[in-house]
Amino acid sequence: MSAPLSIAFIGTGVMGRSMAGHLQKAGHTLHVYNRTREKAQVLIDAGAQWHDSAGAASAAADVVITMLGFPIDVDATYLGAGGIVERAKPGALLIDMTTSSPVLARNIAAAAAKRGLASLDAPVSGGDLGAKEARLVIMVGGDAAAFARAKPLFEIMGKNIALLGAAGAGQYCKMANQIAVAVGMVAWVEALAYAKKAGLDPAAVHASISGGAAGSWALTNLAPRALSDNFAPGFYVKHIIKDMKIALDSAAELKLDLPGLANAKKLYEQVAAKGWEDNGTQALYKLYTSL
């Protein structure tokens, strides 16, 4: 392991808490902030220092890592008055692991560079299980020197780690991932809803098809949750909707039509309209079986 570092970890929700915990167990000193303190309590109990703002935590650290909810949160946390870019130590490394906008990632990188700070956009895939088991896919945008500094930390949290290009490249890669995820969710949900409507046992159909050409990570891991009425979030409905919006906006900028993704977004908006936005993404199955 590299020498212990002082790390500010901002955002200790479903995934961030596990990610921060791995860094803490590896011997790094944690400074934490989350809008809801109790979500950071397990880290505080293990020795992390609590701060009352993201800026305050950042001022105490060599490396700042964020795992937030929405681009608006990322913007305010990094670029707002008293935020990370303003208060981070000179030479600090800033790593945003939120799924956010490629344009915002480039804006943060530019603002950070003006203050002599290194920055990376490093969104992840793998959900709550990937975070807990330290096997996240980490997609990185930024310069090679910053990536080299961050890689030992990434290796504590994930397994498949790649630098994809300059600032914003990590977010573009994550959008490609989310396009495949969102459209793929529709595929397995429709397959199992069809099986149920045809009078078959969806669990038996799942066992038959999940290991063949129809197989996917979501079919293997999320379909069993849906079939057992477990809609607890590994990844929130409200967050997949956010990601689809970012991807569709980005595709529009690139002059690319994505009809499959547009349809998936409409379906998930119906899920949210039923009051299920804080469910896991597998709640899409409820939409079909409640029709």
Q: DSSP string covering 70-122, please?
A: SHHHHHHHHHSTTSHHHHSPTT-EEEE-S---HHHHHHHHHHHHHTT-EEEE-
Query: Is residue 34 within 8 Å of 57, Cβ to Cβ?
Result: no
Residue 1 confidence (pLDDT) above 90: no
Task: Label residue 234 by pLDDT band (50, 70, 90).
Answer: confident
Fold classification of 6-166 is Rossmann fold (3.40.50)
**Active site residues per annotation:** 174
The ranges assigned to domains in the chain are 6-166, 172-289
**Angle at which helices 71-79 and 102-114 cross, to 10°:** 10
pLDDT tens digit string along 15-60? 999 999 999 999 999 999 999 999 999 999 999 999 999 999 999 9
Q: What is the pLDDT, as a whole number, of residue 2?
A: 63
Q: Which one is the CATH code of 172-289: 3.30.390.50, 2.160.20.10, 1.10.1040.10, 2.60.120.10? A: 1.10.1040.10
Q: How many residues does the chain have?
A: 291
Q: Report the predicted TM-score, pTM, of the whole model to 2 decimal places.
A: 0.90
C-alpha 232/C-alpha 240 separation (Å) is 14
